[in-house]
């Protein structure tokens, strides 16, 4: 049975790392549904978050193959434990009348969306949340007319228990590569 999996991969900031990871997914026949890459809290390390659909055995195999790439530090499959995920969306909504403007703003307020640009014919909103919230906001705005929409990739962190100890990964603790 195919499930949606969210994988976070900590990598060294080196040219070509993302291409090698994406190539691994492509060779295995996976479509990357969402991708987010940004520097982590540690210098020289970035974190990439992938959302892919596949059965558990195939995803486990991909995880093992990811560890064979030399610039990979850590792989976390958030699907296996409770996690928090978010994404950012910017959406430009058509405003046809003053009544529409009032209704659109009220809906946006209900979703805790921020207005980031105002124009006579359109409003641009910033919405942050999980996939369900994004989809619901789009559904609410569709009847007014969505002019343009862009979503970032999802990012995720595994939830931790109150008694978990927080350890900072050591960037000098990279796996040694045979020369």
What are 128-145's pLDDT values in tens digits?
A: 999 999 999 999 999 999
pLDDT at 125: 98
pLDDT at 174: 46
pLDDT at 161: 62
pLDDT at 176: 43
Domains and CATH numbers, the chain: 2-80 (3.30.70.260), 84-156 (3.30.70.1150)
pLDDT at 167: 43
Extract the tokens encoding 56. Answer: 């558990």
Residues in the chain predicted with pLDDT less than 70, given as ranges, are 161-179
pLDDT at 170: 47
């Amino acid at each position: 049975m195919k499930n949606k999996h969210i994988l976070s991969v900590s990598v060294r900031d080196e040219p070509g790392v993302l291409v090698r990871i994406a190539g691994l997914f492509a060779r295995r026949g996976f479509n990357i549904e969402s991708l987010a890459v940004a520097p982590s809290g540690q210098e020289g390390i970035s974190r990439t978050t992938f959302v892919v659909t596949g059965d558990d055995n195939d995803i486990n195999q991909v995880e093992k193959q990811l560890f064979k790439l030399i610039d990979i530090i850590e792989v976390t499959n958030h699907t296996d434990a409770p996690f928090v995920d978010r994404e950012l969306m910017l959406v430009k909504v058509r405003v046809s009348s003053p009544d529409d403007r009032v209704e659109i703003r009220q809906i946006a307020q209900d979703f805790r969306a921020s207005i980031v640009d105002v124009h006579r014919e359109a409003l641009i909103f910033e919405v942050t949340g999980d996939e369900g919230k994004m989809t619901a906001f789009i559904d609410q705005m569709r009847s007014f007319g969505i002019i343009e929409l862009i979503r970032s990739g999802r990012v995720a962190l595994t939830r931790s228990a109150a008694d978990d100890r927080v350890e900072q990964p050591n960037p000098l603790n990279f796996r040694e590569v045979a020369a």
